[in-house]
Structure 1
Amino acid sequence: MRDKVLLFINGDAPKSLPNPENYGLIACTDGAFHYLKRMGFPLDKLDFISGDFDSHSGSDEGMYEEKFILTLDQDKTDFHKALEIIQEKGFSEIDVFGGSGGEQDHFLGNLTVAYTFKDHMDLKFYDEYSVYYFIPKSFKVEGVKNKMISLYPFPSAENITTKGLNWPLENGSLSITSRIGTRNFAVEDEVSIEYESGDVLFFVGIKEIEYPAIY
């Protein structure tokens, strides 16, 4: 995992922090810096902190100034700019914390940024409820029995066939304007998904559920 990146962005602070020793690069946006400091994250482990720093005023932040990368482009979000820096450093596998919660337009913006980079980076978002990420046209995941599974079309996906889900699809279609595939669950340890066109944002729940707790 040492070639992976740990990136914190400015959504809801994670309930628990991952082990920084598992990552080859650790970074945060300037907004996320505040909750990391509050939660006692070892800030010396950060390789860089990016953003416009308009929210930084604490007297103890000067010791980390050498880690600051100023990004003033207002046409891109802090998340987008952080990914560009990571890409320039030669990394492509990123675990993202703090991507959801907070202001919901930020959350939607984060998903759009992830969509922009999906062909060049393996981005996975983590929050207290689920792990979610864009999946390729042929996809398998293991260790998910009894966990909530959602397939969200972005904005549509055609000829989808799934195995291992309670409500399977057989050459089905999903679209945000007609039918989405949320709140399903895995009945097998392995779930496979094949689709021909479009894009799918895949969610897997953190915890096992007691079905039929579906709504």
Structure 2
Amino acid sequence: MTSKAIKLISLLFCLLLLGRSLEAATIEFSEEELPSESVVPVLDSPLAVKNKLVKPKGRLELGVNAGYIIDEMFFNNVLWGTSVFYHSSDYKAWGIKYLGRMTGLSTYSEQFEGTSQGLDFNKAPAPGAMLLGSYRWTFLYGKLSFSKDLVLPTQFSLEFDLGVQQSGQQNLPLTAAAISHRLYMKRQFALAATYRLLLYQMLDPVSADIGTGTTPSESDFSKKIQISQGLELGLSYLF
């Protein structure tokens, strides 16, 4: 065997040994040795993850809520109300809502009293109660695990409303869209936080003379389209 052949065989043998030494070895760690944030929580039962804990299909839901109109300038912006929904499936529900408005003026409009402008918004027709038909679509369902023993179902839903709002002595059209986050406790009670965008017609409180003169009639006020935002907290119960 020639010296060149011997050198070639030696080189191939060295490369083979080097390749084996570079092979990555698989190292396994026990869960106790890993950081807690990288370990999947071990629940008492796998069914808590696989199965829905709340199944609303075919059930009635009665709720109460309170909130406020974020950008209301002239009148009291506090809302309160009640609702009833029927769940035609686990993802769809149809309902009726009644929302009332607290009476009185906002602190912004009260500052005009006794000034040179002399504006008295008590003379203007105030927004009142709302009666709405509602459709709810639940697009996300999950569970929040606070411990092995405490797993709370949670839902994210979109709501679409159509109805009327009282403005003075008139009932004017209103529509709204909302996103709601609902957290269930004991599988019947739920706490909900809702952001709502409203589009409605109302009587413009500054479209007539509400100064120191006589009180204008409601027909003196013109109508306008208003866009408002609302935040609500609610409590509901599934029957």
TM > 0.5 fold call: no
Q: Larger Cα Rg: Structure 1 or Structure 2?
A: 2
Larger strand share, 1 or 2? 2
TM-score, normalized by length of structure 2? 0.19
TM-score of the aligned structures, taking structure 1 as reference length: 0.21
Whichever structure has more helix as a proportion of its residues is 1
